[in-house]
Structure 1
Amino acid sequence: MVQTPPHMISEAMTHRFFSLHHHRMIRVAAATPPASVGDVPANTARTIALAQEAHAKGCDLVVFPELNLTSYAIDDLHLQSAQQAATLAGIRAVAAASVTLKPVLLVGAAIERAGRLYNCAVVIARGRVLGVVPKTYLPNYREYYEKRWFASGGGLTGLTIDLGGGLDAAGPVPFGADLMFAADDLPFFTFHAEICEDYWAPTPPSTMGALAGALICCNLSASNIVIGKARERMLLAAAQSARTASAYVYSAAGIGESTTDLSWDGQGFVYELGELLAESERFARGPQLVLADVDAERLIQERTRFGTFNDAAREAGHPETRFRLIAFTHGEDLDDVAERGGLARDIRRFPFVPNDPAKRDADCYEAFNIQVEGLAKRLEAARASTLVIGVSGGLDSTHALIVAAKAMDRLGRGRDTILGFTMPGFATGEGTKAHAWALMRALGITAAEIDIRPAARQMLADMGHPFAAGEPVYDVTFENVQAGLRTDYLFRLANQRGGLVLGTGDLSELALGWCTYGVGDQMSHYAVNAGVPKTLIQFLIRWCIRTGQYDDETNRVLAAILAQEISPELVPADETTGALQSTEDMIGPYALNDFFAHYVLRHGLSPSKIAFLAWHTWRDAAAGRWPTDVPAEAQVAYDLPTIRVWLERFCRRFFQTSQFKRSALPNGPKVSSGGAVSPRGDWRAPSDGTATLWLEDIAANMP
């Protein structure tokens, strides 16, 4: 048996890892060439030029405007034989030019068939016309007169068309509104075409196309511009891509169309699951080609989670049984995306937090109030007279405490009904202890201190632990005796004083299992932070400071707490260096862990795919946008080996060692659509599972 040399395996693996197609991603483009008033040869030449540019940029699919070969606003010229003949010649020229081009081209043309003229999307690839899709809905109101010239393609199924000139050399070309296109060598490359008015209709054809399996919906549009229409187009595309769990590529006619009565802005954009991936410059006088890398795997995974999608397909009579699947061979792409300028999509470094400041503030407002209202309702339902919380001076207990203060304000109760306890242990730093006291005083809660060290020494002595005999043994037992005692005190204090114990553990800790079973960061009467990842907690506290949720003294303390290193403070500082126990040194940067958690929980992506996205997102600290709230010292980069180390540890912790803790999670509000770990919500999994499959995926697919 001939074996492949290891260096060749590594080289092949590297090529796969850095290619789009390996990760089931498709590069699409909305193309807007300068238009003309019926000059088909000029339109054809500009179409070919943009197709060649798209080829050079590695595009797989390019969508041109409606009637871009013919021209849109030429009125009765559509009905002239010379115009129709020139259009067929233009289609032949584009097809001939496409022989050596990578992308599939969707061009617009008016084509006669059986004595009727149709407004069509012509799908061209590698010298062939794959199919012709006629427009279904023809606007005939206000400034539109399309029924004067065109016939509707609605209901036309199972038909073909003779385009002549060698375009149908392989047989008649499929024609009709029942066409869906799919690459036979890339099963995730599936698309559907509709034209302009089709997606203003109450039932866009792309809905049926998506239910039939198309992952990318394409719209060739003319769409003259009036005030507010650009927003309406984007609203429709965002809604359609979200509703159909698809990507939506839209291209509108631009400068050069007749302005006898109308004007044109050439708007092009790409949406995916309701999110804008890319948008062209409007009113540009030159050609526009806006690119985006569509994540087909994400779309597939979304549909598998979105049961209503399958229900809708059933109610629609299973459209996949009515569509003709037009197959074509596209070809694998092993080019390194980084060599082409990186991914053509904006991937947030903090997926639970928008980059846009206005959206971020809106999300923080919602997240904070979800927590406040969740806790307020629980307090009312439990008829609890007090709320008991352990305050360490760290991020999580700080955030839980300010949520509690706001909940009491909203209920009209005094903040003194919050009983805050700082419980110093063997490694509690003076700084965090001071922060805890300063925050409790600033908020005006009832504060007290319980030194757990005597009880901890007694328990360790009862257990025969070496620490009780004076040996510096700081093992997991040493740590958990302290953590467990704090929780014991809090529950008994709640019994004594008619209260609820407020949990402080966050989603990031629960995902990683970075919590002690039965202890306060895992167990409580109400886990108010359980739906909030660590990165979002940091942004939420900054939002509280910035928007004046509390007084100046509270804000000063909150800012000081944000600036300190995250540490469990269960083991004494290093005697030589004085360094504190660092959480992120042990479990990895929370920024990376939250990135991993989002793509596992929300999208179910494979680890190697997550690593690919993480590398493009985090490899250059200077590249891309950072949310304005991220301090300069936190704007760091991570190389691929570092990402791999922490991703492997995340997979072990998440899939294998931590589920039993999440299965016993107390009640707490879901906060983010980015994912949650409650066994009653987003994540149900066996407590005795294994991480083998995920670790094998990393080993097999990462260089």
Structure 2
Amino acid sequence: MRDFVRVATACPKGRVADPEYNLEQMLILARKAEEEKVSLLVYPELCLTSYTAMDMIYQRSLLEAGEKALISFCEQTKEMDVLFVIGYGLLLEGKLFNTGVVTYHGDILGIVPKQFIPNHAEFYERRYFQEGKEEVRFIPNILKGEGYRKEIPFGASLHFVREEDQRFRLAVEICEDLWVPVPPSSKHALAGATLLANCSASDELVGKRGSRRRLLEHYSGNLHASYLYSSAGPSESTQDMVFSAHCLISENGRILKENQPFEEGIFWADVNLALLEGERMRQSTYFVKEEPSYTQYFSMKDKQYTLHRFVSPCPFLPKSVEKEGDRAREILSIQSRGLKKRMEHVGCKKLILGLSGGLDSTLALFVCLETFALLGYDKENILCITMPSFGTSKKTHDSAEKLAKALGISLWEISIEKAVLQHFSDIEHDGEKKDIVYENAQARERTQILMDLANKEGALLVGTGDLSELALGFATYNGDHMSMYGVNGDIPKTAIPMLLREFARKSGNQELETVVEEIIATPVSPELLPPDATGEISQRTEDVVGPYLLQDFFLYQHLRYGFSARNIYDLACFAFSKENLANKENERTIPEFSPAEILKNLKTFYKRFFGNQFKRSCLPDGPKVGRVALSPRGDLRMASDACAESWLSELAELEA
């Protein structure tokens, strides 16, 4: 996929002070990287000579053997389309530097020195090495002969950038550089680097592995970058320390790959460059500064491969099913706190909502109950109205009644059939014609009743519409689209079952749990068209807008990261593929979707998303809950007359 780059960290087997053997082991992993279509491979600190060579690093024989091994590595990787970062002890002008050498197609692109030299506890590197400087200067090339440059850049502020995709921007730091209060990687990221490589030799201590992991999660998330960490392994000397070969790849606060303790080898992951770019664009406090860096460009061909990572088909849900309860309680708490504040502000002690027996109104009712519990109000002041009409099925009508009974709440039934028929007569509409007027007249009649009852009772009308419906415009303008406070406006359809189940589970009410499962199993429908001959729901929302699984996936990628239409299509094809769904990280039963189904529904998404912004431009107030939101006063500033053509044209190219 064009927005991803496959990167790897490696810890080869090795011997202390034996560059020739270490070279052989490094080449084994380099060949493996080439086989796996890796674009960037990072080796540990001082991997050619070994980190624990100690005073032997002063010996000319070892230094020359290390240089010979580096030259040989370059010669033997000329045909490999992989960018390598190699930990190397460089003798320059009579002084030693602990460096990362960046090579590509057998050429040295540049050398990055370690800036912070530790001399505390078990580390005494100042005995050997000089501190590197940020400023880039040019030094004699280690590689001699025809075809090689005479001089190469040397300095800590070096960046290595792929010409064909400048989102691939690499910066290097060495071990201790990461642990200081303001790491060089922070400056690198602010200068545009998206890939941060660390050649390390970090010994293993009790609890240190977790500290490294948390550090990488923090920095990659804070810097909106991918951090590649490759540490020396158990082949190092164990005279005073043990090294565990800790290899990590993180992306935007998430660990993509981590090896087992003391596991040597190569470990790769696919980094989403579009995600990193999107995060940086959106964060207004993320300033890209013009740092004094030298940029070395290189040209690399695109590589075709199947993604080597799990892409969640349900991005609005926690990755682990085990965490659904915690997530649900957090969401319900935000919703109820928002409603509580609004009730206190207007001095209102009653709530009113339309209860249809569907997912959205059930969730809204649960939020009302949570709010009343916070306020200490009697739930008899939650006024639930069910308003059956031409499309109401027995199933949803029964569900509304069972729900009210299980919760001990009174339910007021007001049939709207007479009022709607009178309205049809007034506007000279043939009630037999099942058109948009037929449907929307019912939705608006319900809203009128609820608004008027709210005025009559001195109550606040709670809106039930959810994020998915608002994104697709599947709401009647000035009908169910309108309320006095919308508690579900930031809740996607795919997350609602999780919330309902947690509320029911927490209640300890078996009757309620049973009703909730019945509601979840009912097809999503506005029920504005008559049931079929058997009395079952004939109008199914997903027949019109497509599966909510897909539409929520599209919505998340579109708004959360601003991915291109092509990128979302590619991601969806992989996310809903048999291969991805079989990944051990997937804990849910999710159906597969074909590329044709995905393309069809993605077109629907863009058409409806752009075509219905006018409804979102005048949404009632409601709490923001997640990172994806549609409120015109919050996250989404969008013109009601924006066009979808650019996105649809991109998809049209897939069919050409």
Q: 1:402 to 1:299 in 2, by over 3 A?
A: same
Unaligned stretches of 5+ residues in structure 1:
1-19
Q: 1:667 aligned to 2:621?
A: yes
1:90 paired with 2:80, answer: no
> Is 1:617 the equivalent of 2:575?
yes
In structure 2, distance between residues paired with 1:191 and 1:167: 27
Question: What amino acid does structure 1 have at the position aligned with 2:615?
Answer: K
Moved more, 532-541 or 499-508: 532-541
2:527 alignment partner AA: E
Question: Contact 1:251 / 1:267 at 8 angstroms: preserved in 2?
Answer: yes
- Residue 377 of structure 1 corresponds to 341
Summarize the Cα distance change of 1:42–1:683 in structure 2 as closer, same or farther, 3 Å threshold: same
Match of 1:13 in 2: none
Mapped pair 1:564 → 2:528: no
Distance 2:352 2:458 in 1: 9
Identity %: 38
Instruction: Please give the per-residue CA displacement for 1:488-513, whole angstroms capped at 9, x wherever unaligned.
Output: 01111100001100000000001100
When normalised by structure 1's length, the TM-score is 0.91
Q: What is the Cα deviation at residue 545 of structure 1?
A: 3.6
- Whether contact under 8 Å (2:162, 2:299) holds in the other structure is yes
State the 1:288 CA deviation. 2.1
1:412 alignment counterpart: 376
Q: Secondary structure at the match of 1:438?
A: helix
8 A contact 1:405–1:443 mirrored in 2:
no
TM-score by length of 2: 0.97
Count of residue pairs the alignment pairs up: 655
Are 2:637 and 1:684 equivalent residues in the alignment? yes
The structure-2 alpha-carbon separation of the partners of 1:458 and 1:440, relative to structure 1 and needing over 3 Å to count, comes to same
Matched residue, 2:608: 653
- The answer for the alignment partner of 2:280 in structure 1 is 303
Residue 625 of structure 1: CA displacement? Answer: 4.8
Q: 1-side partners of 2:535 and 2:344: how far apart?
A: 49
* Ranges in structure 2 where 5+ consecutive residues have no aligned partner: none
Q: Quote how far apart the aligned CAs of 1:538 are.
A: 1.8
Aligned to 2:37, what secondary structure does the other structure show?
A: coil
Matches within 5 A, 1:3-42: 20=1, 23-42=2-21
Does 1:323 find its partner at 2:293?
Answer: yes
Does residue 1:135 correspond to 2:114, yes or no? yes
Equivalences for 1:197-216 in 2 at 5 Å? 197-216=176-195
Give the corresponding residue for 1:575: 533
Distance 1:436 1:257, change over 3 A: same
Q: Which residue number in structure 2 is paired with residue 544 of structure 1?
A: 503
1:176-575 aligned within 5 A: 176-284=155-263, 287-310=264-287, 313-314=288-289, 318-319=290-291, 322-333=292-303, 335=304, 337=305, 342-467=306-431, 471=432, 473-520=433-480, 522-546=481-505, 548-549=506-507, 551-575=509-533
Letter in 2 for 1:450: I
Task: Confirm or deny: 8 A CA contact 1:389 1:419 kept in the other structure.
Answer: yes
Shift of 1:444: 2.3
CA 1:239–1:702 in structure 2 vs 1: closer, same or farther (change >3 Å)?
farther
Q: State the 4+ residue runs in structure 1 displaced beyond 6 angstroms.
A: none
Q: For residues 532-562 of structure 1, what are the alpha-carbon distances to aligned partners after superposition, in whole Å with 9 as ceiling and x for unaligned?
A: 111111222223344x245222222112111
**Is the Cα contact below 8 Å between 1:129 and 1:168 reproduced in 2?**
no
Residues of 1 paired with 2:441 and 2:503: CA distance? 34
Tell me the C-alpha RMSD between the 2 structures.
1.7
Q: State the secondary structure of the residue aligned to 1:409.
A: helix
Q: Secondary structure, in 3 states, of the residue corresponding to 2:383?
A: strand
Alpha-carbon separation, structure 1, partners of 2:624 and 2:211: 31
| 8 Å Cα contact 1:355/1:625 also seen in 2 | no
CA deviation after TM superposition for structure 1 residue 159, in Å: 3.5
Q: How many angstroms does 1:234 deviate by?
A: 1.3
Match of 1:45 among 24, 34, 43: 24
Judge conservation of contact 1:118–1:152 (CA < 8 Å) in 2: yes
- Structure 1 residue 446: Cα displacement: 3.2
Letter matched to residue 263 of structure 1? V
CA shift digits 1:133-179 (9 cap, x unpaired): 01111111111111111111034433424425449922211111120
